[in-house]
Structure 1
Amino acid sequence: MTTRAVVLGVGHYLPERLVPNSELETLVETSDEWIRTRSGIERRHFAAEGQTTSDLAIRAARAALADAGVEADTVDAIILATSTADLTFPAAATMVQAGLGMTRGFAFDVQAVCAGFVYAMANANALILSGQAKRVLVIGAETFSRLMDWSDRSTCVLFGDGAGALVLGAAEGSGTTADRGILSTDLHSDGQFRDLLYVDGGTSTGTTGHLRMEGKEVFRHAVEKLAETAHAALEKVGLTGGDVDWIVPHQANIRIIEATAKRMQVPMDRVVVTVQDHGNTSAASIPLALSVGKARGQIKPGDLVVTEAIGGGLAWGSVVLRW
């Protein structure tokens, strides 16, 4: 028998404020057509005044726990993927832990920008396979609207706020690809590309800073690296794109999503797409899409799912799991 990290439940939360492209037309020189054509985004959500990343994460976590039918005090660990933590320290995950009323276990943040949730899933899988935890709450949550330079129309129209969460639990499998749970992971980073996507603030400047991006270069790297990491994760367990029921990609840009699916030879009707409704929510993107995909009736028990993401660092990776 083989231990697997199986998805027990999934949930998400979006802030109440819905921001259509038409509203951004009043803030920056842009148009609904320009945004849709270049990104596929139609609307996004922004956190309210005083609403923090941990607030969003707590709501998504509660939804996932309810979906799993488990109580927070049965969770051994919380891993929160975010680049927009409430404070420099402590970890926002500890604030989620307190918000859920947990007084046991441990909690920490993972920071790999848009690839953060994939990294968090890989860490949760390792904790479960090693026996250090039997049940892990994995969350992606962001308030990227607070990092925008509202004079930069190339970036400020792309991002939104939100949170998604999964509950992973240890289960016994046969050791084959028919098992439910995480089958393989594949992680990469290359710091020589850090200037392609970054925030120009931090301890070196004493400011929060704003997001900066070389869009064309990020696009080129994304299409190439996302397909490569997805193929690598599938190859580790002897699978191919033809075996995949659903790709649940990082929701950054519809053109990247389409180009990656084409390279993987997976038709778009087997790709979960939410970018039109949420924009780029960074580390929250994949768990949001997983939760919405399940709610839509797309992702069903037994389906083979591939998630892949790339973000600042550059950091990228993928997870293959059977739902």
Structure 2
Amino acid sequence: MIQSVITATGSYIPDTVVKNQDFLGAQFFTPLGEAIATEPAVLLQQFEAITGIAERRYARPDQQASELGLLAAEQALTSAGIDPETLDYLIVAHNFGDVAVESNRVTMVPSVASRIKAGLGICNPNCVAYDLVFGCPGWLEALIQANYYIRSGEARRCLVIGAETLSRVIDPADRDSLLFSDGSGAVLLEAAPAGSAGILAHHTQTHAYEYAGLLGMGPGYAPQPVVSPDRFLKMNGRKLYEFALHHVPAVIQTALNKAGLELANVSKVLLHQANHKMNVALLERLFQLYDYGRPDRALMPITIGWLGNSSVATLPTLLDLICRGQLTNQRLVAGDTIVLASVGAGMNINALVYRF
């Protein structure tokens, strides 16, 4: 039997810090194009109280998603000390491909994965590079796919990357734009003899029939003299929050059931960093499923306060920061079992159980 084991991690956190106070001069509008009368300072205080976000990171003007992904990939490969030519698969999760600054135009040809493979200097044609678009859960779903390749014997070594530059596709007139950020993360997944460590179980759902429209692209909110062809990331925040609370804990529980484990066996719960208030509520709802008391917040590491929501990059970045000992009072040791879970456009949900 073969097990899929994470042997290295990497991430790239952009160095452009954008604080909430940087938006004090912004004018926000409703979807109907009506100016929001609330003072920006009050609005920003309300925003931080709900989301937990005080600042976020944006890519430099000369960087696109493929450059961010390449930097995370290089860090993971250097940490592992392996030859990139030995990779069997290079899978990149994103939602918008490369978007040049001030362009609002998506480019996916060639794929981001092909661009990163070229950037790594990999000549081996048997290293298959492809993209996966699955909303915010994309990186975790790519990890699940890599696990299938390894468990089937199709692959021995896969590099799984999440990279996004959401700052290029947000509407500056929309309050929801304050949530989003840029970044990248990567893990190296390798085949190992079956043992106690590795991916134990996973579960994925797609709720498209009723909920596909909760996240999508739409026109800007600010009134324009001429209709613009540009489209921006839009979401129905309240319904998305309700959807997540109703469905995500059950998906996590299903994954744990598949692994034959209880929540009490879990050392850390790593949730997609979408909204601090929502993540706290998700953890509490998960504990309610097991009839446990209130959860210890240390069980759920949080980075959204200073990194914002970088979509597919939030989970691999969070994991890398913990593995490198860069989060205060957060660490993982041999024998620890963690759950990773995400929810996003589609609407898609996934959860994966991993033991170190």
TM-score (norm. length: structure 1) = 0.93
8 A Cα contact 2:259 2:353, kept in partner = no
Q: Which amino acid aligns with 1:27?
A: A
Q: Which amino acid aligns with 2:273?
A: Q
8 A Cα contact 1:139 1:165, kept in partner = yes
Equivalent in the alignment of 2:189:
168
What's the CA shift for 1:5?
Answer: 0.8
Query: Using a 3 Å threshold, how does the CA distance of structure 1 residues 14 and 253 change in structure 2: closer, same or farther?
Result: same
What's the CA shift for 1:207?
Answer: 5.3
Deviations 1:72-122 (A, max 9, x none): 122111110100212132210110100111112111111011111111111
Q: Which range is displaced more, 49-58 or 207-216?
A: 207-216
Q: Which amino acid aligns with 2:16?
A: R
Equivalent in the alignment of 1:21:
20
Q: Which amino acid aligns with 1:126?
A: Y
Deviations 1:196-250 (A, max 9, x none): 111238xxxx956201111000001112222111111000011111110011110
Equivalent-residue separation in structure 1 for 2:147 and 2:244 (angstroms):
25
Query: Using a 3 Å threshold, how does the CA distance of structure 1 residues 208 and 286 change in structure 2: closer, same or farther?
Result: farther
Equivalent-residue separation in structure 2 for 1:124 and 1:22 (angstroms):
41
Equivalent-residue separation in structure 2 for 1:207 and 1:316 (angstroms):
31
**3-state DSSP class of the match of 2:137?**
helix
Equivalent-residue separation in structure 1 for 2:334 and 2:74 (angstroms):
21
Q: Which amino acid aligns with 2:270?
A: V
Q: Which amino acid aligns with 2:119?
A: G
8 A Cα contact 1:21 1:35, kept in partner = no
Matched, 1:194 2:206: no
The one of 295, 305, 319 aligned to 2:338: 305
The one of 111, 121, 129 aligned to 1:101: 121
8 A Cα contact 1:160 1:278, kept in partner = yes
**3-state DSSP class of the match of 1:148?**
coil
Query: Using a 3 Å threshold, how does the CA distance of structure 1 residues 132 and 200 change in structure 2: closer, same or farther?
Result: farther
8 A Cα contact 1:6 1:171, kept in partner = yes
Q: Which runs of 5+ in 1 are unaligned?
A: none
Q: Which range is displaced more, 263-272 or 12-21?
A: 263-272
The one of 244, 251, 256 aligned to 1:234: 256
Matches within 5 A, 1:284-323: 284-296=313-325, 297-323=330-356
**3-state DSSP class of the match of 1:114?**
coil
Matches within 5 A, 1:84-163: 84-86=96-98, 87-104=107-124, 105-153=127-175, 155-163=176-184
Equivalent-residue separation in structure 2 for 1:216 and 1:194 (angstroms):
15
**3-state DSSP class of the match of 1:230?**
helix
What's the CA shift for 1:48?
Answer: 1.3
**3-state DSSP class of the match of 1:45?**
strand
Equivalent-residue separation in structure 2 for 1:89 and 1:207 (angstroms):
21
Q: Which amino acid aligns with 2:187?
A: L
Q: Which runs of 5+ in 2 are unaligned?
A: 29-39, 99-106, 220-227, 288-294
Equivalent-residue separation in structure 1 for 2:344 and 2:229 (angstroms):
21
Matched, 1:213 2:235: yes
Equivalent-residue separation in structure 2 for 1:256 and 1:123 (angstroms):
27
**3-state DSSP class of the match of 2:136?**
helix
8 A Cα contact 1:261 1:267, kept in partner = no
8 A Cα contact 2:2 2:193, kept in partner = yes
8 A Cα contact 2:217 2:234, kept in partner = yes
The one of 267, 285, 303 aligned to 2:296: 267
Q: Which amino acid aligns with 2:135?
A: V
What's the CA shift for 1:185?
Answer: 1.2
TM-score (norm. length: structure 2) = 0.85
Query: Using a 3 Å threshold, how does the CA distance of structure 1 residues 39 and 77 change in structure 2: closer, same or farther?
Result: same
Equivalent-residue separation in structure 1 for 2:155 and 2:202 (angstroms):
18
8 A Cα contact 1:147 1:208, kept in partner = no
Matched, 1:279 2:308: yes
**3-state DSSP class of the match of 2:250?**
helix
The one of 65, 90, 110 aligned to 2:77: 65
Q: Which range is displaced more, 258-267 or 248-257?
A: 258-267
What's the CA shift for 1:69?
Answer: 2.2
